[in-house]
Chain A
Amino acid sequence: MKKNQVTLTIGAFLVTIFGFMLLTFQVRQTEVAIKTRFGRAVQSDGKADLGPGFHFRLPWPVNEVYVFDNRIQSSEWTFEETGTAEGKPILIKVFVTWKINDALKFFNSFSGDLAKANVVLEGKVRSAQNAVIGEYAFNNLVTTNEQDLKLDAIEKDMRERVGSDSKDNGIEVIMVGIKRLGIPESVTSAVFERMKAERQARIQEIEAEGDRQAKTIKAEADLEANKILAQARAEAIQISGEAEAQAAKYYEVFKQNPELANFLFNRKALEGLLKDNSTLILDPNTPPFNLLTQPSANKP
């Protein structure tokens, strides 16, 4: 009997759970749902959306419930090459944030499948992105000049196009953002080469500038040094001249006996000339060597 009671309790418990699951459903705070009755959406006040909370239902096939995530979704797709207004190639990657604003329309458009919605959105976004980028010049996308940069306008144009294309699908496009910009591989290589050439030019410029500065400094140093030396030499000549003038005053005395003066100058000059490593070849008759050949003392 007791065993039967336990079995009955467990059975009742299971039946309650199954009944609960069959006759009710919950919609989370993050979700929105629609309920169909024999395949037709149940609407209240013209809206089929069911908000968060506890709801009743009848078992299949009377009622069927479809629940969707009601939060902002973000989708992104491939990094795609497109062309600007002047035909320059550019790679662009765009992301879109969107949310369901009409669950029934969303269900009708995509069978409630977020993946299907993403696929459909992809086509619309790619189309909008290529069309919009084609209306702008390259320097509207990449430039250091703030006046030329038009990214906000480009994103706004794309959002309007995608939003307009999707308004009947039960989704609201909140934002279209350019996530990445790039250039094709072939252009990339050329840019690398140009960057390297630019660096090489910079290297040449730096080295030439260094050389220029070094040579200038050296030339300035030489100039200053030569100036200093030239000035010193000039002053030395001047000093020498002044000394000559002063010495000339003392030479007045030589006028008293020019013959003696000349003799003395000659003697001094001779003394100076014979000072070092001179070799004299003399005649024996030269005084005082004539004493060697004339031994008699009486001879002068």
Chain B
Amino acid sequence: MEQQNSKKLGLINSLVLLGITIAALFLALKAGSTAGLAGVVLLGIGTLVGFFGFIHSHLIDRERVETLEMQELDRTRGNESLFAGAAEDAYPARNARRQFEKWVVPVFSVSVLLGQAIGLWWVYGELQEWAAPAEDGAVLSIMFFALFMVVLFMMGKYSAGLARMDGQDLLRPGANYMLLGSVVSAAVVLAQAASFFGYPAWDKGLTWAVLVVVAVSGLENLITLVLEIYRPRIDDKKARLLYESRLIGLLGQPGGLISTAAQALDYQFGFKVSETWFYKYLEQKLALIIAIQVVMLFLSSSFVVIQPNEEAFLERFGKRNAHLGPGFSYKLPWPIDKVYRYKTSEIQNFVLGVMDENEETKPNTGSPDDVKVLLWTSQHNHGSSKDPEQNYNMIVASSDVSLDAAASDSVPVNLLTVSIPVQYRIKNLTNWVYETDNAGSLLQKLSMREVTRHLIGVDINDLMGSGRTKAQEDLKESIQEQADRIQLGAEIVFVGLQDIHPPVGQNEQSKASGGVAESYEKVNVAQLHSETNRLGALQYKAGRVPQSQANAAEILATASSDSTNKVALAKAEAARFAHQITAFSAAPSVYATRSKLETFQRATQGARKYILSDPNKNDVINLELQDKLRSDMLDVTVDPNN
């Protein structure tokens, strides 16, 4: 009779598990709860195990009936020797049970392992695309999972108690899954409630916890299967059920865990720690202690401390009630009053045109690798490998007259690479929080709009030259104006234009002429060459004019000197001539000869002199005994009168 009741209970348990699994799947999908889906995996496996246990118990029951019938038959025929040791064929139910345990149970265990693997893969996939649970259906989900928790706990507890009785152990695997299902339902209720009150990450965390349980259970299942191959088979030795997980049993009935821990403590300390008053007191008051802690936690939500760099809003039942400054403030406990805090004095920053998160998040440690030189001709701070759309250049107007003239055929623009840091802080917290959803993102969009508007109306050369400072001021002013216009509640602290330059990306480079940025640098080089050339000319001029002035002065001085000399000589010669006339008049021939000879002597003092003693013989008298006279010179005819 007990066996019949047990079999019926196993079937009821399985049907309840099946119904709860289907309902839980529907609720988890509706609420978008991955923790609920993980619970469904566990409950689904529990359902399979429950039904399998029921089939197994049915076979055992059949075997029991068969044995009773055989015993009854033996007794009525009164000849035990005839049927003693009857052939195995005489016990079809027993054979069926043995074949079932030999072949079907391992196959089922493998199926459970497969189911665990598929469940893990499915829930892990859901986790990869995890989103916060929807509020729609959250309350309904909480209600039903709480109901599941109660139902599974009560039925599981009853079945587990019954399974301790002799011959009822097939109820235990299903009961364990029901008890663990109850725990998981409680966890789902907790996760859903946390999500409902603004802590959706609990859902993710509890999903991971359930996944770990399923994974470890699967691992245990695998190890049990491997060990089963090598397990020694001894007749009449009852083996543990292959599809019963020790882990599930331990987690489903933590009381067993506590008693095991108590026994371990007893063993370690050498006396009955579990029988001391302290241990017993703790065991009795554990629920009360936990309840007091929960109450303390609840009461701790009655005050709040706002930090010096923060401001906060207190909302009562969702309605703004107070604006809190730094310091200690009282409030009604959660969920009546809620406080939302913001760092208002902190300067926040975003960069327009720079989207590489790695670059943005990489701190400058001051090492040589971090302190690099930023050149127009090398990639820095711009673009993003993750988002090609962000790898852009900004359009800048062209004031080139020739381009404007040809505007009907071409696109009269230039391109600039920009990265503009914008720093801001919250000026009006009410507007920042209550007027705009994601005010930071909107400020970024407005800033980009203003940058675009500014660039398309300014000439590239002005912007990169003297107009940069003005552009910086104009941009800051216009972004602030737009932020104020839509009451964003932000104060623009700084707009930087330090990183605006000609395009530098790979597309802008060509082997023939280099990049655009390089062309701009070449202009500077040309300017330097030109200046060098001009300075060379000035250097030439600086030498050439004074030199000519010096030459002119010299010419004039020489002329003056010659003139003075000429006049003085003329004067002296005139005076001497007067005296020479006197001398000449006195003895004209003597004076002439004397004068001639004196002059000859004086004039030929340094000259080489050859005298042809006999012109016909060509005898030569060399008065200076130096080099010989060339022979051709001997042919010269000399007038003796000369």
Contact = CB atoms under 8 A, between A and B. Distances in A.
Which secondary structure dominates chain B's binding surface?
helix
B595 A232 contact: no
Contacts of A172: none
B287 A246 contact: no
Interface in A150-206: 151, 174-175, 177-183, 185, 187-196, 198-200, 202-203, 206
Interface string A202-221: 11001101110111111011
Contact of B287 (A6, A198, A207): A6
Contact of A257 (B143, B394, B552, B584): B584
Contacts of B513: 196, 200
Interface string B601-632: 01110111111111100000100000001000
A71 B437 contact: yes
Contacts of B544: 218, 221-222, 224-225
A53 interface: yes
A79 B389 contact: yes
Contact of B415 (A180, A188, A203, A280): A188
B182 to A, nearest CB: 15
A283 interface: yes
Contacts of A221: 537, 540-541, 544-545
A220 B541 contact: yes
B611 A282 contact: yes
B318 A26 contact: yes
A170 B400 CA distance: 48
B367 interface: no
Contacts of A97: 442, 486
A127 interface: no
Contacts of A142: 395, 397, 412-413, 456
A261 B577 contact: yes
Interface stretch (B94-102, B105-113, B254-262, B555-563): B555-563
B288 interface: yes
A257 B607 CA distance: 32
B195 to A, nearest CB: 12
Nearest to A112: B136
Interface in A248-273: 248-254, 256-257, 260-261, 263-264, 267, 270-273
A99 to B, nearest CB: 9
A276 interface: yes
Given A195-B502, A264-B577, A281-B636, A72 B436 contact: yes
Contact of B448 (A180, A220, A246): A180
B127 interface: no
A21 interface: yes
A60 B457 contact: no
Contacts of A138: 407, 411-412
Contacts of B65: none
Interface stretch (A28-36, A38-46, A102-110, A128-136): A28-36
B315 A292 contact: no
B26 to A, nearest CB: 14
A29 B320 CA distance: 6
A151 B516 contact: no
A282 B577 contact: no
Interface stretch (B10-18, B50-58, B519-527): B519-527
B559 A206 contact: no
A87 B210 CA distance: 60
A206 B525 CA distance: 10
B415 to A, nearest CB: 6
B574 A195 contact: no
A216 B532 CA distance: 14
B414 A191 contact: yes
Nearest to A61: B140
A77 to B, nearest CB: 11
Contacts of B530: 206-207, 209-211, 213
Given A187-B411, A236-B555, A144 B603 contact: no
B611 A179 contact: no
Interface residues of B, number: 140
Contacts of B611: 281-284, 286, 289, 292
Nearest to B135: A67
Nearest to B613: A284
B516 A277 contact: no
Given A52-B320, A192-B415, A228 B552 contact: yes
A283 B519 contact: no
Which secondary structure dominates chain A's binding surface?
helix
Interface string B585-607: 00000001101110110111011
Indicate the size class of the contact surface on chain A. 35 or more
A294 interface: no
Given A228-B549, A292-B621, A282 B581 contact: no
A81 B525 CA distance: 38
A26 B336 CA distance: 9
B555 A232 contact: yes
A179 B146 contact: no
Nearest to B627: A279
A293 B611 CA distance: 11
B546 to A, nearest CB: 9
A211 B638 contact: no
B385 to A, nearest CB: 17
Given A200-B519, A206-B526, A225-B548, A280 B608 contact: yes
B318 A31 contact: yes
Contacts of A48: none
A160 to B, nearest CB: 18
Contacts of B284: 3
Q: Which of B502, B540, B559, B606 has the most CB of A within 10 A?
A: B559
B607 A6 contact: no
B533 A280 contact: no
B79 interface: no
A272 B603 CA distance: 7
A278 B604 contact: yes
Nearest to B442: A74
B412 A139 contact: yes
A53 B552 contact: no
B606 A280 contact: no
Given A188-B415, A203-B523, A251 B570 contact: yes
A62 interface: no
Given A72-B442, A195-B516, A88 B318 contact: no
Nearest to A75: B445
A120 interface: no
Nearest to B459: A144
B87 interface: no
9 contacts: A6-B287, A182-B392, A194-B410, A206-B530, A214-B537, A218-B540, A228-B551, A240-B562, A281-B629
Given A199-B516, A214-B537, A286-B611, 13 more contacts: A26-B318, A192-B508, A199-B523, A207-B530, A209-B530, A239-B563, A254-B574, A260-B577, A267-B596, A273-B603, A277-B608, A282-B638, A284-B612
The 3 closest A-B pairs by CB, nearest first: A210-B530, A232-B552, A243-B563
Interface of A: 3, 6-7, 9-10, 17-18, 20-22, 26-31, 52-54, 59-60, 66-67, 69, 71-74, 76, 78-79, 86, 88, 95, 97, 138-139, 141-144, 146, 149, 151, 174-175, 177-183, 185, 187-196, 198-200, 202-203, 206-207, 209-211, 213-218, 220-222, 224-226, 228-229, 231-233, 235-237, 239-240, 242-244, 246-254, 256-257, 260-261, 263-264, 267, 270-290, 292-293
Interface of B: 135-136, 139-140, 142-143, 146, 193, 196, 284, 287-288, 291, 313, 315, 317-320, 335, 389, 392-395, 397-400, 407-408, 410-415, 433-438, 441-442, 445-446, 448-449, 452-453, 456-459, 486, 502-503, 507-508, 510, 513-516, 519-520, 522-523, 525-527, 529-534, 536-538, 540-541, 544-545, 547-549, 551-553, 555-556, 558-560, 562-564, 566-567, 569-571, 573-574, 577-578, 580-581, 584, 592-593, 595-597, 599-600, 602-604, 606-615, 621, 629, 633, 636, 638-642
